[in-house]
Structures are given as C-alpha cells and as structure tokens.
Structure 1
Amino acid sequence: MMEENGNVVPQEVKGWNWGAFMYNWIWGIANKTYLPLLVLIPIFNIVWIFIIGFKGNEWAWQKGDYKDVETFKAVQKTWNIAGIVSFILSIAGILLYFFFIAAIIAGLANSSYSSYSY
C-alpha cells in the first residue's frame, strides 16, 4: 500500500497499538507523528483515541527511520506492553472505584436504617 509520502506500509506493521491508544499524544511525539495531538481537542478525543490505536503503527512506520519490520516491532512492543498494563490498571482502578462507592452507599443506607428505633 503506497502512502502520501511514498513509504510503503508493510502488512506486518498494521494492527492495533495499545501504546498509541493509551499514551496517544506522548506516543505521537515520541514517534514523530503529530496527528495524535488532536486528542487534546475535548469531545473529539473520545473517538480519536480509537483511531490512533488503529492507525498508529502505520503513521509511526511512515514517519520513522526503521531499517526493517523487526526493529519497528521491537520498538512498538515496549509501547504495547506499557499500554496494555496501563489499560488493565485503569480498568481495575475504575472497578475498584465503583465498588468503593457502592460499599459507601450500602454502608450509609445500612446505617440510616439501623438508626430507626422500633
């Protein structure tokens, strides 16, 4: 597939990039691709992070000076691992937050019912 700047994007490079998804604008600057900076636009960023995750590898390949696909994959593997760990920790944090809030609400409801005397 030929792109605007003439760089051919190998099929092995295409695919989801967790690092680009989770670290979007930081990943973009580090990979010399600046489209991820659009994530700084409120509301638009909700959709844009998914586009970055999906197209990030292609953008990074086009902007980078990688000698081969293996080198590219090695660099992006570090980003992917960090992104996956971040994603899992974020989901765990969100779940713990909601369980904590539910426990507080249940505790408050329980204490208000127990304060009534019969």
Structure 2
Amino acid sequence: MTGKQPQDLLDQNTLHWTWHRELILSPLLTKILNQMLHRQPSQRFKSADEISQLLQSNPTKRTYAANKPTQLLQSNLSNRTYAATKPTEFKAPAPVNNSGQGGIFDHSIQVPDEIKGWNWGAFLLPSLWLFPNRVWIGLLAWTPYVGWIMSFVLGVKGNEWAWKSRKWSSGSAFKAHQRAWTIWGLIIHGSFLTLFLLVVFFVASVPELRKAFIEGVKTELTRGELAPNSSSQKKRIKSAHPSQSSPTPTKDQVLKVEIDQLETLTDLTD
C-alpha cells in the first residue's frame, strides 16, 4: 500500500510503526491494521476469516457510495485536501516493544532484527553479565569444564535471551547497555593480557640479569678488589681447604672460592 519495505515503516529509535504517515485510511481499516500489527501475538486476528467478517459487518460506506457517487467523490476530494493541510488525528499504534514478555525458550516472541547478533559483553564476561541481564541460564558459566562453552553460547544467543528476560525501555537503551558491557569486557581482558605479557617479559629477563651480575662480580674478583675480610669468606675458604692451618686466607684463595660458587649459581639459574 505504501510501496515501502516493512523495516522502512518502523522507527528504529522508538520502535513505533509509522505507516499512518504514509496512508489515510478509514477508522475501520485503521483499527484492523493496528490489530494486525499488535505487539502481542495473542491480541492479533486468529485468521483471515475474522477480518473478512469484520469488513462484511460494516456495509454502510459501500451503500452510501452506491446511492450517492457524486457526493462521495466530492467528500473524498475534500478529505484529501484536508489531509494534505492538517496532520491526521488517528491515534498512533502502540510501540512494538515486546521485551521481557516471556522465557528465553519462548519462540512465540519475535525478537526485532536490530537486537539480534553477537554479544561481546556476554562472551567476555559471562559470569557477571548474566546478573543485570537476568539470563539465569548463564550460571552454567560458573561450572567447571562447561563455563568456556557457555561463553560461546551467550555470545551467540545473549542478545535474544536478554531481550526476552528483561523489560527494556527501548531498543536503543538495550543497545547502549550491551555496548557498555562490551567496553568493560575489552578493558578487563586487555588489562590481564598486558599484565601477563609484563610477567613473561620479567621472568625471561631475570636469568640474563643474574648472569650479568655474576659476570660483574667475577670481574671485580679477578681485579683483586675484593679482600678476604669477612668471616663468611674465611669460613668458606676453610671448608674448601681443610688441610691448611693458616687462619688468614690469601686473595688467591678468596678468588678461587668465590668464582667456584658463582659458577655453581650460574649453572643453577640455567
């Protein structure tokens, strides 16, 4: 009737049907069309016979057209002029917002196409996302060996289940909520990844730093800048040379013992 696709007659922000802006119909046809597009399937016509009976039960306008064709033509022309200069007074249909009207497995509820799609927030943070969105089947994400599978399930079906489980003010509000969860999921996982990479880098660098430190100590010992003036050094030298009776170790003895211990430490770090 309008020459447009159905999605072009649906306001994406308010989910209101806007067909009345394109057509000027009688009150009877307006009522029938609104009931056919009712947001609750149970309130729509059960069959085409109901619509046919409703049209046949109201023959007044057809009789009037048969008796007074000229007057009807003039009335139609005046109505068209009036519609062009003044907005229609027909009541707009109720918004098509069927969120929160059934369980997640209720296939009678038609989820709008703009709601469907992959949910990154449910995939990245399934254990937390389920609570504000009231998707209680997501508690399986806390179960060992099953949680990672549930992450993928919520990523695929999260949007549809959240739309059915909770009442949302509009489609745009729903999208904004899910977008916030996606941002937080990326921030948290990005932080953990950064921390993991820093730990790996540090662990990989520790052996190199330790080797560099040991090499520096060896250099100092070789130069003879470390003297045997500590009691621990004397004990280590005495244990390494028990046959010596001299209580005062020489620099050569200190150098040999320290280098042996540093080489042992280097082998352990490797």
1:54-112 Cα distance to aligned partner (Å, 9 max, x none): 3211211111212432121012121111112112112212222221222224445x369
Counterparts in 2 of 1:1-118, with a 5 A limit? 4=106, 6-108=108-210, 110=211, 114=215, 115-116=262-263
CA distance in 2, matches of 1:42, 1:55: 21
- Provide the C-alpha distance between the structure 2 equivalents of 1:22 and 1:93, rounded to a whole number of angstroms: 17
* Larger RCO, structure (CA 8 Å, separation 6 or more): 1
Unaligned runs of 5+ in 1: none
Shift of 1:21: 2.2
**For residues 192 and 156 of structure 2, what CA distance do their matches in structure 1 show?**
20
Structure 2 vs 1, CA of residues 15 and 104 (structure 1 numbering), >3 Å: closer, same or farther? farther
Separation (CA, whole Å) in 1 of partners of 2:208 and 2:158: 43
Counterpart secondary structure, 1:100: helix
Distance 1:105 1:11 in 2: 56
Per mean C-alpha deviation after superposition, the further-off stretch among 5-14 and 87-96 is: 5-14
> 1:50: how far off?
2.2
SS of 2:190's partner is helix
TM-score under structure 1 length normalisation: 0.77
Q: Which runs of 5+ in 2 are unaligned?
A: 1-104, 216-261, 265-270
Q: How many residues align?
A: 114
**Partners of 1:5 and 1:62 within 8 A in 2:** no
Q: Which amino acid aligns with 2:198?
A: L
Question: 8 Å contact 1:20–1:79 — kept in the other structure?
Answer: yes
Q: How has the CA–CA distance of structure 1 residues 99 and 20 changed in structure 2, closer, same or farther, with 3 Å as cutoff?
A: same
Letter paired with 1:116: E
**TM-score between the two structures when normalised by the length of structure 2:** 0.38
Q: Are the structure 2 counterparts of residues 113 and 14 from structure 1 closer, same or farther at C-alpha, using a change threshold of 3 Å?
A: farther
Q: Which has the higher helix share?
A: 1
The one-letter code of the counterpart of 1:26 is L
Query: Which whole-Å CA distance do the structure 1 matches of 2:111 and 2:153 have between them?
Result: 17
How far has the Cα of 1:17 moved from its partner? 2.3
Determine the C-alpha separation between the residues in 1 that align with 2:178 and 2:200: 33
